[in-house]
Amino acid sequence: MSDLELGPERRDAASPEHRGMILRYTAGERTNHWMVAMAFVLAALSGLALFHPALFGLSGLFGGGPWTRILHPFIGLAMLLAFLPFALRVGSENRMQPRDWAWLRQYRDVVMNREDRLPEVGRYNAGQKLVFYAIVLCLTGLLLSGVAIWRAYFSIYFPAVVVRWGAVLHALCALVLICTIIVHIYAAIWVKGSVEAMTRGRVTRGWAWKHHRAWFREIMTRAANSRPRPD
Amino acid sequence: MALQSLDIVRRSATTSRSPQIREPSGGREVAKLIDTTKCIGCKACQVACMEWNDLRDEIGTNIGQYQNPADLSANTWTLMRFAEVENSKGDLEWLIRKDGCMHCADPGCLKACPSPGAIVQYANGIVDFQEENCIGCGYCIAGCPFDIPRISKKDKKVYKCTLCSDRVAVGLEPACIKACPTGALVFGTKDDMKQHAAERIEDLKSRGFEQAGLYDPAGVGGTHVMYVLHHADQPHNYVDLPADPRISRAVLLWKGFSKPLGLAVMALTALAGFFHYIRVGPDETDASDEAAAHELAKRLEKAP
Ligand code: HEM
Ligand code: SF4
């Protein structure tokens, strides 16, 4: 399709700045994110069905106990597979910097919405970075322990003591991951405009300025540099 | 439901109470007593088990011992294990142990199982798998301190000795007991079996087996399958019979208080979010933020 057919508006849609809105996530990144999210929800529901008798009823969502047991590890692997490219994309933006530790120390200002008192934030704030590392660690733990307790294919290759502690580790990593994602989801509801960033891809200038000023500065500087200078 | 004459006292993955109004007057706990000192390793019991339960294992290969098949399986619920041990006098002892489910009073399999009613314990002490409720996760295998349950390749369900719960329910003794030609296997109430064992042990001691004794390990609350051993001080000599079997600490941690605690932590995390929203409210951007953003953008445009 040529640019003309798309019209002037669509032609700009992929550029960083468009009608005053800033591109935060490309269509590819959004698709990837929601694949991870769907796999997580299914993995968590099917896992929780076996986690506690009170939740065994969740196995009905997957076609009963045996199907839950069969499907869960594959859904878990799907989440891992979906998360890998996403992690490679956003990983470098999640390195902790000195200003992130300062941000964390001021957690009271964070939870009380006193953002004006906080150090400037890059593309991701310290909380988002910690969520990223928690997911990386938990998924690694879930994979290693999940293989050991996967009775249908792998458990016979592990001694009983490894399978037993593997089950403990798996349940623990699942618990930490689920709590992390609850925090992640709540943060998206709390900070208005975040959900749009991941559904529509764009955020307002005000949003970027308020929540991720260092990133905003970077985007604006780059945009200014690439524009033809009016003399 | 299982046979009415077998009241269920414990049920896997069930936090509410089992039906328990009946108080059977004669319904005491039962036990199978295996007297290793009388066993001649003829495997009549092994065959009787196959016959009664309609089980046929694959024809295996000779592993250089009388033990055949080589291990317990979904189709072999009891197995004679043969150990050749040199005793302190330098003599060879041929120790033969009938292996199979011990029917623990405190069963690790039942504790570990996540599927409601896949494993039950009857009032008479028998621990039974209800395969129609089994989801095939194998948690019970991790839970068992004796390495007994085996998962079937055919249907991905777990099987083990039922102590012939179907026969016991109608007043018969287990098939293996019926078949034993030497009286090494006896069945009755647990009290009677303990008394019978005590007499046997006294006899053995009088004949030079100083360390003869009963194997009824307290670590799992006692068992409903017990052994008379000539060397009760060396259970491991009977092909790795554990000296002090217990439900693993990992399993107790995994299935104990940590589960309700885990649920509470998840619920509290979600509640914390909800009440944060109610008390502090959302973090929004308004016109002043937009204006400030434009201001900054303009400055950057002028002096890139
Ligand atoms: C990385 C790939 C994963 C693999 C290979 C895996 C494998 C397994 C296996 C084999 C089981 C035992 C039940 C069964 O056989 O189905 C299990 C249980 C479980 N899984 Fe996973 N899993 C993975 C990822 C996840 C994820 C992403 C979650 C989400 C939070 C999760 C949560 C759970 C929970 C809560 C249980 C029940 C634990 C318990 O019984 O205490 N797993 N998993
Ligand atoms: S394999 Fe079956 S009996 Fe064993 S723990 Fe899982 S559901 Fe329970």
Chain B residues in contact with A70 (beta carbon < 8 A)? 136
Measure in Å the smallest separation between the Cα of A20 and chain B Cα atoms: 9
Residue whose entry in the numeric block shows the structure tokens 């719960």: B165
Task: Give the confidence band of B18 by pLDDT, cuts at 50, 70, 90.
Answer: confident
Mean per-residue pLDDT of chain B: 94
> Is B271 an 8 Å CB contact of chain A?
no
pLDDT given at position B60: 87
More confident residue, B238 or B27: B238
Domain assignment present for A36 = no
The verdict on a CB contact (< 8 Å) between A182 and B273 is yes
pLDDT given at position B183: 97
A151: nearest CB among B13, B138, B301: B138
pLDDT given at position A231: 55
Task: Give the confidence band of A35 by pLDDT, cuts at 50, 70, 90.
Answer: very high
pLDDT given at position A4: 34
We report the CATH number of the domain holding residue A167 as: 1.20.950.20
Give the tens place of pLDDT for each residue, A141-194. Answer: 999 999 999 999 999 999 999 999 999 999 999 999 999 999 999 999 999 999
Give the tens place of pLDDT for each residue, B130-184. Answer: 999 999 999 999 999 999 999 999 999 999 999 999 999 889 999 999 999 999 9
ipTM: 0.93
DSSP for residue B104: B
pLDDT given at position A6: 36
Domain assignment present for A102 = yes
B269 close to A182: Cβ distance less than 8 angstroms: yes
More confident residue, A222 or B252: B252
A151 Cα–ligand 2 center, Å: 11
Q: Which ligand is nearest to the CA of A59?
A: 1
Give the tens place of pLDDT for each residue, A166-176. Answer: 999 999 999 99
B273: nearest CB among A186, A208, A227: A186
Give the tens place of pLDDT for each residue, A40-78. Answer: 999 999 999 999 999 999 999 999 999 999 999 999 999
Chain B residues in contact with A186 (beta carbon < 8 A)? 270, 273, 276-277
pLDDT at residue B236 tops 60? yes
**Angle (CA) B273 B275 B278, round 5°:** 115
pLDDT given at position A203: 96
Domain assignment present for B248 = no
Domain count, chain B: 1
Q: Which of B139, B103, B102, B101 is nearest to B121 (CA)?
A: B103
Domain assignment present for A77 = no
Domain assignment present for A26 = no
pLDDT at residue A80 tops 60? yes
Task: Give the confidence band of B20 by pLDDT, cuts at 50, 70, 90.
Answer: confident
pLDDT at residue B73 tops 90? yes
Domain assignment present for B207 = yes
Task: Give the confidence band of A10 by pLDDT, cuts at 50, 70, 90.
Answer: very low
Domain assignment present for B247 = no
Distance, in Å, from the CA atom of A40 to the CA atom of A171, rounded to the nearest integer, reads: 15
Domain assignment present for A132 = yes
Query: What is this structure's pTM?
Result: 0.93
We report the CATH number of the domain holding residue B93 as: 3.30.70.20
pLDDT at residue B67 tops 80? yes
Domain assignment present for A146 = yes
B70 close to B118: Cβ distance less than 8 angstroms: no
The partner residues of B85 in beta bridges, in order of sequence, read B93
Domain count, chain A: 1
Tell me the H-state helices in chain A. Answer: 3-12, 27-51, 65-90, 98-105, 107-111, 126-148, 160-190, 194-199, 205-211, 213-226
Give the domain extent around A147: 98-111+125-193
Q: Provide the terminal-to-terminal Cα distance of chain B, rounded to the nearest Å.
A: 79
Give the domain extent around B70: 3-237
Q: Is A149 exposed, middle or buried (0-12, 13-18, 19+ CB in 10 A)?
A: buried
